[in-house]
Structure 1
Amino acid sequence: GKMIHQFTHQWAQPKYWLDEAEVRLKLIGRGEDRGQRLAYQEYRMVHRRIASSTNERTTIACVSPPNHVCADTAQTTKNIIDYDSLVFLVAIMNSFVADWEIRQRVTAHLDMHFVYKMRIPRLTA
């Protein structure tokens, strides 16, 4: 989680590298690897899970590029969404308004049940 910051996935250098074949096996589980596209192969939103209402910013989110795998302290969107909605969601998550809303609820961890309760406008054409 500390490798990301608002709007950047390169806040710190990675310390560990993983073999993609092992990652695929772990993500697929007991199913068969048929070469299907997995979420880590797409752009997706990632936010820091470790957060505090006393930090300068409670919500820190960015767009994670394809083929980046995140640890459990950086939570990612699991479903594949279109890029416009993804960038919009990251911008909303990093806004002062969303940060204030989350700050009222979070004590130490920004888990997905807090994100699901956020009031996020819809991006419409």
Structure 2
Amino acid sequence: MLGFYFPSMVDYVTQFSTNTLIQVYSAVFGTIKLMGDDTLKNKLEEIENSHPSIPYFIKKRIVSDNLYGIDIMEEATEIAKLRLFLALVSSANDVEELEPLPNIFAGNTLIVSQQFTKKDELLFVVSVLNSFACDFIIRQKVTAHCNMFYVYQLPVPRLTKNDRNFNDIVQRAAKLICTTPEFDELAQEVGLGSHQQGVTDEAERAKLRAELDGMVAHLYGLTEDEFSYILTTFPIVNATVKEAALSAYRSFVPMFGNSELVSC
């Protein structure tokens, strides 16, 4: 398997190899069902009971264990493998078919993060990175490609739970995120309780997002004129969304006062 410098060749070779191997696996599985070997039948039954989709299992097994390649750049083969896994995921007919993928090398374009030991700090960072203010900053650096080097250079306010406004931001983010039982553990860890305290009403969610944008703008020390200008640089965002963010900014003026830019 060649690296990512020849994507069309990679696609051709891997598609041919994968289709051939799928036929081989399918033939083997079919033969086992017709044979009288109880050991093989039990093994096949174990596989079928452990995986929601046998076709997905076969393709994942092929990508993980049956395709090999070399390139002058080690990361090239890893990126080629990533392309195959992305194609694998996109081939699933239902989300229930998906299974965890193995760890792979990540280039500086693939967005990954280190494990946050404190989930409240993770929610705070997510809130900042998704704000109009932070979006505006990174767009001053990016031309056509958002490289992770740009992300590393972003000035992100450094708040912890001992800082003013930290918990207000975390709780709003938690209400937006924790809306299903899968997020109960996160909700408990950040003090929300459970997904039942999450917000699903669209109008209320829009209000929470506007408040987050208004608060983050204050953390960056933006004046109303500066924040208003930043909002004008998002032409495809609905005007009511931008008006709500600016209104929220104004409502938080008494809370933030004339506070200076938080250390970044």
TM-score band, normalised by shorter chain: 0.3 to 0.5
Question: Which of these two proteins has the greater Rg computed from alpha carbons?
Answer: 2
Q: Which has the higher strand share?
A: 1
Higher RCO, 1 or 2 (CA under 8 Å, sep at least 6)? 1
